[in-house]
């Protein structure tokens, strides 16, 4: 699913995280080098890298938080992973910030400083591993297009009622999908050769976004582990999912497509 914090489709968070990773790694490296060589200028270099690391970590957190709120599917395995990823990055920033303050004290001991930085580095390494899983497995911030998918479409509807206009009749081509968030509920709208369909944007396996999947011949495939569902009945056609997904009544008249939610 495409990042919401991007420049011409390029997600900002993965671009920015290389800076704190490099600066914090350099901090630990130069502090270790300073400790072993007893050469004071290395500590100065480590300090400057540390300040830069803290600043760039805070900057990188902004697009990451935007994507956490608006891109990671709610109630999914990726949301839990993204929460842990964010908390570890906060832990990393706190550890390096404490170390940065501590090193300025007259009684600072190099062993304590290195322990704080090693703890921060460990948080960063685990958070980085999880970030990789979020991108390469959960495809967060990946613009995932298949043949005939067209451009990613998303619409927010915040009006009371049971029946909602979710598309214009000619808006989608056959096998195209669109995400509509109706009063907080995520519904995937698709067009099949027989007409429009609507179903939950939530794979019953681990919560993958089905609007970000591939739909063909009346079947939608989840992008995370490949479960397949009938878009008309919601029945599972192929696992690992075991439970059907909810589908919703759709009608089309006066050039508009309506979905009814009970």
Closest CB to ligand FES among residues 93, 228: 228
Closest CB to ligand FES among residues 195, 225: 225
Binding residues for ligand FES (CB under 6 A): 203, 205-208, 222, 224-227, 240-241
Q: Residue 210 gets which letter from DSSP?
A: G
Closest CB to ligand FES among residues 242, 253: 242
Closest CB to ligand FES among residues 41, 239: 239
Closest CB to ligand FES among residues 239, 249: 239
Closest separation between CB of residue 73 and ligand FES, Å?
Answer: 9
Phi-psi region for residue 207, left (φ > 0), alpha (ψ -120 to 50) or beta?
Answer: left
- CA torsion sign, 169 to 171 to 176 to 182? negative
Distance CA 7, CA 124 (A): 25
Closest separation between CB of residue 138 and ligand FES, Å?
Answer: 9
Closest separation between CB of residue 2 and ligand FES, Å?
Answer: 18
166, 180 contact by CB (below 8 A):
yes
CA neighbor of 166 nearest in space, from 141, 191, 131: 191
């Amino acid at each position: 699913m495409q990042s919401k914090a991007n420049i011409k489709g390029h997600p900002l968070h993965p671009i920015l995280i290389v800076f704190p990773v490099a600066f914090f790694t350099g901090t630990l490296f130069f502090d270790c080098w300073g400790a072993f060589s007893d050469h004071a200028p290395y500590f100065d270099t480590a300090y400057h890298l540390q300040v830069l690391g803290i600043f760039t970590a805070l900057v990188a957190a902004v697009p990451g938080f935007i994507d956490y709120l608006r891109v990671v599917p709610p109630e999914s395995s990726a949301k839990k992973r993204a929460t842990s990823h964010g908390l570890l990055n906060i832990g990393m920033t706190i550890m390096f910030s404490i170390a940065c303050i501590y090193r300025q004290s007259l009684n600072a001991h190099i062993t304590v400083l290195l322990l704080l930085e090693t703890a921060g580095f460990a948080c960063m390494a685990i958070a980085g591993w999880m970030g990789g899983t979020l991108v390469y497995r959960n495809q967060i911030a990946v613009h995932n297009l298949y043949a005939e998918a067209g451009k990613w479409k998303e619409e927010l509807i915040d009006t009371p009622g049971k029946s909602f206009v979710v598309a214009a009749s000619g808006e989608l081509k056959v096998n195209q999908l669109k995400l509509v968030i109706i009063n907080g509920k995520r519904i995937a709208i698709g067009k099949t050769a027989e007409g429009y369909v609507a179903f939950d944007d939530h794979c019953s396996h681990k919560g993958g976004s089905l609007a970000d999947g591939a739909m063909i011949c009346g079947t939608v495939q989840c992008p995370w582990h490949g479960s397949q569902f009938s878009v008309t009945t919601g029945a599972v056609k192929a696992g690992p999912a075991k439970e059907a997904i909810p589908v919703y009544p759709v009608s089309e008249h006066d050039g508009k497509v309506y979905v009814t939610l009970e």
